[in-house]
Amino acid sequence: MIRTRALVLAAAALAVGCASPWTVDRYEAPEADIAGRRSFTWKDGDLGTPVARRPEDAATLEAQVRQAVTGQLLRKGYVEASDPAGADMVVSYRVAGSRRFVVPEEQRVGAPSPNEVLMPGSVQPPPASELPREQMVREGTVTVFAEDPATGRLFWRGLVSVESRKPSRESAIREIVDIAGHIAQDFPAQRTAQ
């Protein structure tokens, strides 16, 4: 009995730990019948973010986002069309973002006590006139679209807005790819033939 309860608690803790930090804002046109469609094709994405300024970063981001979204759509039962003219939907994405510098909330108030400053071996605090350290914050939106190829009308959109303090360009690219895959998980599954 105790062992079973421990296993259940461990499974619940694991499920909570795997929960995504992102909430997907979805739009689905009521007349779209997405689950009735079977194939998709890709249209190049739109990159409007400082992370993708260098061409090699843009190419890496494009390939990885496409792979993440395609993998999710294939799991949902859709097929990537070899001929774009025969596809039931056109899938694309957009990454938009900016970066800014902020001052962390850890501001010093008042002076340290003389006992703290005059103790041998203690680390001296920075002078009160020194400006606080700035941190770079990236704000952005990752959006995945699905359109009708005949009319060009949008029938599904998933969007995640995020604020991140990722220290490197590579970690920011990984986060964008993870977000795009998470958005594609919310895409409706294909209705199986009956």
Task: Residue 87: give its domain's CATH number.
Answer: 3.30.160.670
pLDDT interval class at 85 (50, 70, 90)? confident
Predicted local distance difference test score (pLDDT) of residue 84: 85
Domain span at residue 52? 22-102+133-185
Whether pLDDT at 138 is above 90? no
Question: Cα separations (Å) of 186 from 62, 89, 189?
Answer: 20, 16, 9
Question: Cα separations (Å) of 10 from 3, 4, 14, 183?
Answer: 10, 10, 6, 27
Q: Please provide the average confidence, as pLDDT, over all residues in the chain.
A: 80
Question: In terms of Cα–Cα distance, which of 190, 71, 66, 87 is closest to 148?
Answer: 87
Query: Higher confidence at residue 3 or residue 169?
Result: 169
Whether pLDDT at 136 is above 60? yes
Count of domains forming the chain? 1
Predicted local distance difference test score (pLDDT) of residue 111: 60
Look up tokens 């941190």; give the residue. Answer: 135
Share of the chain above pLDDT 90, in %: 40
Question: In terms of Cα–Cα distance, which of 134, 154, 135 is closest to 144?
Answer: 154
| CA atoms in the 13 A half-sphere facing the CB of 181 | 16
Structure tokens at 43: 């249209």
Read off the amino acid at residue 168.
S
Share of the chain above pLDDT 70, in %: 70
Query: Higher confidence at residue 135 or residue 73?
Result: 73
77 located within any domain: yes
Relative to beta strand 79-80, strand 89-102 is unpaired
128 located within any domain: no
Mean pLDDT (whole number) for 75-104: 86
Give φ, ψ of 48 to 5 degrees. Answer: -125, 60
Per-residue pLDDT of 28-69, as tens digits, reads 998 888 999 999 999 988 888 777 778 888 889 999 999 999
Mean pLDDT (whole number) for 113-129: 64
Look up tokens 């703290």; give the residue. Answer: 116
Mean pLDDT (whole number) for 111-133: 63
Structure tokens at 2: 């105790």
Mean pLDDT (whole number) for 11-21: 52
Mean pLDDT (whole number) for 80-87: 89
117 located within any domain: no
62 located within any domain: yes
Whether pLDDT at 14 is above 60? no
Question: Cα separations (Å) of 113 from 53, 124, 126?
Answer: 48, 12, 14
